[in-house]
Amino acid sequence: MDDLIKCDRCDSNACYKQEVNESITNYMCYGCGFISNSIMKDGEIFWEEQKSKLPELHKDLIFSINGKYWIPNTINLEEKGMVFANGKNISSWHWAAVKSIKVSEEEKTKYPIPGKKDEYYEWRMDMKNVEKFGERDFMDALSHIGILP
């Protein structure tokens, strides 16, 4: 069952709750941009594996409340763009939003699809035009790349 609930992390009423099955529930807050789920907690093998693979900034931004851990979300939609946490450390980070642009025929060989011979990405992220958004401006970052109005 899907529902909008109050976020444990930021108290926003824009936290999307999705029950995947009887033991796993996902949480994605549009207010703060952080995600969690019912198996992101101490003692869960999934959580321990995920933590080890996180970028250092994400590790620094881990937030624990009510027995769950929350981490910054990364949105990456090929034809729209990407929103991600960016910065050097916990005291100087922001949401970065970058729009995707069509790969031209002339430059397509620069963007091969790994493991697929003679296949190339059609879109790439325009990293030269990254826009910065504040910690509480995740929805504005999503709007910038065209996901929200």
The tens-digit pLDDT sequence of the chain (149 residues) is: 689 999 999 999 999 999 999 999 999 999 999 999 999 999 899 999 999 999 999 999 999 998 899 999 999 999 999 999 999 999 999 999 999 999 999 999 999 999 999 999 999 999 999 999 999 999 999 999 999 99
Q: What are the Cα distances from residue 8, in Å, to 17, 63, 148?
A: 11, 10, 23
Q: By the 8 A CB rule, do 97 and 141 touch? A: yes
pLDDT at 116: 95
One-letter amino acid of 46: F
What pTM value is reported for the model? 0.91
Structure token digits, residue 89: 């450390």
The end-to-end CA distance of the chain, in Å, is 25
Beta bridge partners of 19: 25
